[in-house]
Chain A
């Protein structure tokens, strides 16, 4: 049975719906990342799942038990859903152990559980430290441990890495990912950072303007997005005019290529091909068909903007062993399939 099942959920404030008709299911021990720009309703969805907001329509089922519908929702304190808010929100008047044990005060195994969790988050020596003495990353880990202590059915993380330094984020992401796996916890994480979403999630949901516009594995959503909006939210894209050939392949100015979604194509159809930057390659053994406009150095690779002879501007990603200079001609080819979308 799925850990959480959301059906046709609508919720909002003062009679106005902020999220509309959201439906999805999440399996046990999976991590769902909800990605979306500000104002897309991610936090509202989270609050509704946690039980702080009563739905206007639809239902939420946890482990097969109905917890939220428009009638009498189960209050937050009874749902056994953990919450890690954006800034961790540790209780300033308690030390680390006090924070972690806050939800399990009546548990006779309290001490063991706290020690267990301290080990999992790798902060055993900080047991009696005060929240004010911890770094941002440490605070988030304690907040997670606190939420995990009562062994909740589900954990909600609200943009947990936003307040941190970039250098710490990657490490913390991994840490949290592994903690969740170790404790076999189902989790829903809200984020506006696509890199984060792609890296951590088992399932990915994309929200825009209150609606769920995509749901699936990061891989499938990245490589075969169903709409331009989804594609854009997951990374850089190039939109290239294209046409479906009779044999099901796609014709663009780069030639005829395969597509990532051949079974959805109707021969003769006009549309666009969504191609990721990494699908291009500069091959100077060929006749140049483009001029380099700009380079953005990212360390591990570069994002190069080129203007095709046709006038189309394309962004491509390349490892940086090779030096490129602006205003030099080059030849660009497509090496991986893109996604065809009809107009």
Chain B
């Protein structure tokens, strides 16, 4: 007879607990799937009211991809001027877009103020058509085709160069020069940045996919330096890490305002007017479907495009106003003179294609 001691196990059969666990796990997986189904169902049916807390009248919920530091004072101005309280949620334009897509119908957002056109394009399905009073203010190449969003301010793609090592007349006038041997390892780009991606998309539209891919490959072969953000590129050029960098124009002006223009080692070069490198991109705004009739939302958008606000942008962020009657900052080349490649921003919708190309060449 053996009284072998086995390692401790429950003296009752362990099977009941195991199967309990399986049932629980199964139920656990079921619940969110049901939830997902219900959300699909909801979007197809007519929603009478979002079940999220609605902003009170006299309050506007804005999802802003532009930072609080930058536009916070602006929103405060709006409240002063109109009495409408702005409840602003600040974040990265693309992450906010993803969040809004995830939120779907029940998003508390009423207005989306984005840093770039690409993010606006991605949430077009959530936006309502802007009223004529707004769309007439801005030239059509800076608006969505179906008028679901409008640009508010323009930013030019420029090339920052290290003035200490690059004489002004040697600065490339075209992006195609950047694959030249003499700039090996000295060119900085930010492939994860939306502005750069918009620029590549524009290049694909005007020059075609093959040329663009060749150019990108050329950059990679020329040891192009990649950075996460435009600001970091500017810092790199400013400290002599690299000689050239592709950024948006206003970064330079903002940094110059902070540290003093005379202290800026990096300087800006604008490329030839028809060159793909001189794209004008926009920060823009759209009204979500749920707030289509909301007078506060419309007033907000109109206010962004009003002359006073546009001037505010000119003096505070150094961006280009898009409303015809307002002049751009005196030290900036005029917007029309830049022209940029002849495309409307709305054409830059094939972002996925650009990303695939960037991934294929190894930049992403």
By a beta-carbon cutoff of 8 Å, the part of chain A in contact with chain B is 12-20, 39, 41, 53-54, 56, 209-210
Q: Are A14's CB and B9's CB within 8 A?
A: yes
Scan B1-41; emit 1 where CB is below 8 A from any A CB, else 0: 10111111111000000000000000000000000000000
Interchain CA distance A39-B4 in the complex, whole Å: 10
Q: Are B11's CB and A14's CB within 8 A?
A: yes
The answer to whether A14 and B3 touch (CB under 8 A), given A53-B11, A54-B11, is no
Residues of chain B within 8 A (CB-CB) of A54 are 11
Interchain CA distance A39-B9 in the complex, whole Å: 18
* Selected contact of A18 from candidates B5, B7, B9, B10, CB within 8 Å: B5
Can you name 25 A-B pairs with beta carbons within 8 Å? A12-B3, A12-B11, A13-B5, A13-B9, A13-B11, A14-B6, A14-B7, A14-B8, A14-B10, A14-B11, A15-B11, A16-B3, A16-B5, A16-B6, A17-B3, A18-B3, A18-B5, A19-B3, A20-B1, A20-B3, A41-B3, A53-B11, A54-B11, A56-B11, A210-B3
Residues of chain A within 8 A (CB-CB) of B5 are 13, 16, 18, 39
Residues of chain B within 8 A (CB-CB) of A20 are 1, 3
Residue of A nearest to B10 (CB): A14
Interchain CA distance A210-B5 in the complex, whole Å: 11
Q: In the A-B complex, list the 4 residue pairs whose CB atoms are closest, starting with the nearest.
A: A14-B9, A210-B3, A14-B6, A16-B6
By a beta-carbon cutoff of 8 Å, the part of chain B in contact with chain A is 1, 3-11
Please give the distance in Å from A67's CB to the nearest CB on chain B: 17
Q: Are B3's CB and A13's CB within 8 A?
A: no
Residues of chain A within 8 A (CB-CB) of B9 are 13-14
Interchain CA distance A18-B6 in the complex, whole Å: 9
Please give the distance in Å from B350's CB to the nearest CB on chain A: 65
- 8 more contacts with CB within 8 A, not counting A16-B3, A41-B3, A209-B3, are A13-B5, A13-B6, A13-B11, A14-B10, A15-B6, A20-B3, A56-B11, A210-B3
Residue of B nearest to A19 (CB): B3
Residue from the set B4, B5, B6, B10 with the largest chain A CB neighbour count within 10 Å:
B5
Interchain CA distance A118-B204 in the complex, whole Å: 91
Residues of chain B within 8 A (CB-CB) of A53 are 11
Residue from the set B3, B4, B9, B10 with the largest chain A CB neighbour count within 10 Å:
B3
Residues of chain A within 8 A (CB-CB) of B1 are 20
Please give the distance in Å from B50's CB to the nearest CB on chain A: 52
Interchain CA distance A209-B9 in the complex, whole Å: 20
Residue of B nearest to A18 (CB): B3
Please give the distance in Å from A72's CB to the nearest CB on chain B: 13
Residue of A nearest to B5 (CB): A18
Interchain CA distance A16-B8 in the complex, whole Å: 10
Please give the distance in Å from B322's CB to the nearest CB on chain A: 70
Interchain CA distance A19-B1 in the complex, whole Å: 12
Residue of B nearest to A16 (CB): B6
Residue from the set A14, A18, A209 with the largest chain B CB neighbour count within 10 Å:
A14
Residues of chain B within 8 A (CB-CB) of A39 are 5
Please give the distance in Å from A66's CB to the nearest CB on chain B: 20
Interchain CA distance A12-B5 in the complex, whole Å: 8
Interchain CA distance A118-B225 in the complex, whole Å: 80
